[in-house]
Chains A and B, each alone.
Chain A
Amino acid sequence: MPIIEMKKVFLLGHRQERENIFNVLHDLGSLEMLDIKSSEAWDDFEALVEPEHAGEALSETEAALSELRYCLDFLQRYYPVKKSFVEQFTGGKLDLSESDFKDYIARLDQVREVYDSCHGAEEKMARIRNEETQTKNLIEELEPWSDLSVPLEELGRGSFTIMGLYTVPVDNLGSLQASLTEKAPNHYFDQISSGTDYVYFFFAGLTEEEQDRQEIFKENTVSAVSFSDMTGTASENIERQYKKAEELKSERETVLKEIEALLEHRPMLMACYDYISNEVQKHEAVTYLARTENSFLLEGWIPAPGLSDIEQAVEEKTETAVLTSRDPEPGENVPVLLHNQGPVEAYEVVTKLYSTPKRSEIDPTPYMAPFFFVFFGICLSDAGYGIILSLMAIYVSRKLKLEGMGKQLIYLLFLGGISAFIFGILFGGYFGDLIKLPPLWFNPLDEPMRMLFYCFGIGLFHVYFGMAVQAYRNIKAGQPMSAVYDQGFWFIFLNGLIMMMALPELASVGQWLAVAGGAGLVLSQGRHQSGIVMKFMSGLLSLYNITGYLSDVLSYSRLLALGLASIVIATAINAMSEMVGGTIIGSVIMVLVLLGGHAFNIIISTLSSYVHTSRLQYIEFFSKFFEGGGKAFKPFRAQTSYVDITKSESN
């Protein structure tokens, strides 16, 4: 049974035992808790319930969680945990044994300390960054004045003279000097340096001429530069700042070392994070309960096969709790858990990526799986690529501990490799034409029309199969006539048309079949309309759906196109490598071209085989009988983001 039966359970317990019971359920991980407030029975409970909230304990654990989050993010920023390409899809968590995990949890009280260290280190880093920008800016500002021999502290206003540093736009230099000589001749002007835009100069003048000078400066957009709190010449100051920058750099390295020293706590932090986030989950679950002063009631769903386990656990590990269960009632939104056996399980990932089936539907996975297997093989259709894909899948599944959809996807690729191997032998593709073996069946490259014909054939079968599944559903739902009207008449009509067009010797039979099927459709498809005219019109219009079936079947031509694409690209790689062969260097390049080219083609062809095969299932097949939109089963169980805990055998 691909969709597992669910039981609704009610658990009544004493308040004091609540945490214990939660731990038992959490460890079992086979129950989905329901928020009792959304239950029909809520009206009965509402008056009873004590308005307690998850409360203080929750906010405390949440605070701890955010501290952990902060520490982990902080360490990640400076010393990121690198994830390999495959791990980005699969998670790539830290492997811990159960006892290690417990040891780390025992160090939970150290988190505060680590948090303070992280916080301190971050503050230090921020200060260092600030000062570094400051010195950098100062050096930039001082640089133009490095040839100035006057110490900076001596600049300024004296009783008779004013000394200062100024900048003037390069274009205004001439007019500035001219006006100065004309209107305030008693001055000393020394150009220190010049940049692309500005000229930097030292200027000393009499105090009594200040008025005129200000005006001249204003006219020529001269601006004053001042360095307060600095002693010694500019170049001395620059040197000082450079030294400071050096110091900051070494200080930064010290802090980085401090952070590096914190890294040893990272596994502990990860373990604690996962532990605390599960604690938060448990606290939040409290709000799902109906509670009185001394008791609580829990409502949930459990897969029927897991019921005896949970009954046993509740009986053994608790004193007061009472568990009752019942079958789902009509109208209840029952969560859906898929369970397929053997290789079919791998294809659950395809269904799940589309949508979880509704309770009332059948799980399409077992019907879709054989088609997926075959289509994938036709798209890749190379024995060599198939072997490599399967080996890669085995390697990845050995190397990485995969769970859930990741595991299913790798298994699916492994099966896809086998399928590609089979079709490679049938069509004679071994790394394109690298190994020249005759095809067991025929080569689609030589007879593309024949292959196209088969693709349409297999597509038609796929579409018919989808219709048959829907007919089966109709019959099972007690509507055998719907099966006749909606699927049977179409089947007759389509077959009649095909005979008329494609099989000349059966054309006369086909003609009558098409007419009979068409008439049936016209008469039956309007049955939900009211009034004879509307019935007839919508029946007639329904014939227009023939375009849908036509485009569905034509869509399977992609099997041919993708199969040809992977073969021809492989052939192109082989041809290119042959062109460079001959000399020793040529042979080396040839091998490189072969390796790189085929690796590229395997990746690209596998990707397009997967996506196009999925599409054929989703658009052409599922549309015949499957809607989706069910609620996936989400059990109350330990969820980890950083660590994978391997259960030890001892318990």
Chain B
Amino acid sequence: MQAKLSAIAFSVAAAFALAGCGQKEEPKAAAPAVPAGKPEVVVKLGHVAPMTGPQAHLGKDNENGAVLAVEELNAKGMEIGGAKVKFELINEDDAADPKQGAIVAQKLVDAKVNGVIGHLNSGTTIPASKLYSDAGVPQISGSATNPKYTQQGFKTAFRVMANDVQQGKILGEFAVKQGVKTVAIVDDRTAYGQGLADEFRKAAEASGLKVVATEYTNDKATDFKAILTKIKSTKAELVFYGGMDAQGGPMAKQMKELGIKAKFLGGDGVCTPEFMKLGGEATEGNFCSLPGMPLEKLAKGPAFKDKFTKKFNTEIQLYAPYVYDAVMVMADSMKRADSVDPAKFLPEVGKTNYDGVTAQIQFDELGDLKGGAISIYQYKGGKLEYVETLGGTPIETAKAEVKEAVVEVKDAAKAVAGAATAVGKEVAAEAKDAAKAATEAGKDAVKAGAEAVKNAADATKAAVEKK
């Protein structure tokens, strides 16, 4: 009996404890801002990143970017819907754990935020995006690069950074430019590493490279000699690694120990000072990529850097400028919609054309950044040196679109011609029907092609005008 009593006591205590916590949260969960002719409207923006755990330093960096943007917006004093707007940032920690990501996302939805900036990791961003989508809260991530995030069909999901598909593709093209013929691919079987390696493979194979070995490791491994020995036997000229610096560094080192002469190439996971520290001399001459362009190369980059270091007295780690832009895009959309109501300004987010710190931000139909640029760096003398930026310029994308459209038109014309000959040759009723269908299909194709050409031309025009 005592056992049962204590069970009850425990449950009651738990209930009270929870209720107690609830009361503390109450002010936060207060009614959302309703622009009813009041002089000031509070706009709540949620921001989520890991503030604890191994990526805490990156999380803090993201938060700083958001804080800077919000302070600037408030200092500027925006007016939306006839009322003065005050932005308020609600920071949450997801510890880079998908389960906790869902819990804090729920918390933000409960708090009726007007928009969400984040999360940092794709692993938490993807499960959380469902909750935001259900609640109709626009979400802009400055750092989640997994393509899946925007491919789920949620109207609320956006990102202001090139995704892994774009990065993998550019890395593949870069490998070709290096003049190698055979590559070996290693990935660490994480969502990030595998995604990047897959895209690299597609791009490499499409441009005629031969993938001679595909090996795997995991994100806790320290010994890569077995797989490297196998790669050695295939005599690959370049080793691509999809994964993080903690494995990439020792891997580069062990390659050297085994006498492998191949070049080493990786994505943003190995484009860190940490990689050089762990790989030592073996990293010299290796290449890696980072999404976006180096701040120094951007029109507004150096100014942003100054502002940032002055305010926080610390260097920018990685994604702060992107998070800053994410906040700005959100505010810009509200302004254009002249409303802070998520339902009203959400359509405007998709139509964004904002001149941000990191890029001219436009979204495609999925919510991905249009023409995200990727920069290549090389390790030289213990430093990361900028090599070049690939992809990303609107003119180039436009050119590519025109090319595609022309091919489409050509195909369509061929189809029409084929259909016509079919009509000429066969007079039977069946053939006629088939030909009719073919002609119609051809017509459609021509139409589509023409439209594509038009779009591409428009894009080119816009790009040229911008220049």
| A and B found bound together | no
User: Chain B interface (Cβ within 8 Å of chain A)?
Assistant: none
